[in-house]
A and B are shown apart, each in its own frame.
Chain A
Amino acid sequence: AQSVTQPDIHITVSEGASLELRCNYSYGATPYLFWYVQSPGQGLQLLLKYFSGDTLVQGIKGFEAEFKRSQSSFNLRKPSVHWSDAAEYFCAVGSSYNTDKLIFGTGTRLQVFP
């Protein structure tokens, strides 16, 4: 079955520390992978996406993610977290042929301490 797993429900980091949010997927076809961020009371905003090519992708707000096919992973990273990064982060998988079948993970809530 197709699925996305975000094993960390809640992560707390200090401002300025590095961050890695984990995402593992199970998908039969070639996956298109996404990370979305949701600030409190807001809708979802696209951080970055991977379709093909370079497996290290850069997104907005200084985030990057690396696609590792052998590990079925698409982990999100940021070298230095800012207090404004506190939000909920969702990983999602789909394909260009099935936008209607975009599958979301359960999300990771990030808390940032000063």
Chain B
Amino acid sequence: NAGVTQTPKFQVLKTGQSMTLQCAQDMNHEYMSWYRQDPGMGLRLIHYSVGAGITDQGEVPNGYNVSRSTTEDFPLRLLSAAPSQTSVYFCASSYFFTGEAGANVLTFGAGSRLTVL
């Protein structure tokens, strides 16, 4: 199993450009999420999904779009990149609530470092 795979690992954009960060998991996890990590801020939740066709906003959703057409994939779209979106982005997945303690521990991808000039 590959776990959670994120692409690309590095990306440089100019202000106003758009791009998509890809996230795929092969563990049949219902729950998938995107976090951004900034120095001194820890990890902040951007968007999440509890299953195909279902998405919701996290703590910092502005400027980002998501969709969940399959269980495996959860892409994050930046429609018009801004310097404030310079960050490291992590995708994470887990089983959703199953009533079994410990089943829904997050598995993280290796991260995507984005720089917006």
Contacts and interface: CB of A to CB of B under 8 A. Distances in A.
Contacts of A43: 4, 90, 108-111
Nearest to B58: A100
Contacts of B40: 9, 106
B64 interface: no
Interface size class of B (residues with CB under 8 A): 20 to 34
Interface string A1-31: 0001000010000000000000000000000
B31 A52 contact: no
Interface residues of A, number: 25
A70 interface: no
A34 B105 contact: yes
Interface string B103-117: 011101111000000
Contacts of B97: 96-97, 99
5 contacts: A42-B110, A44-B108, A99-B97, A99-B104, A102-B45
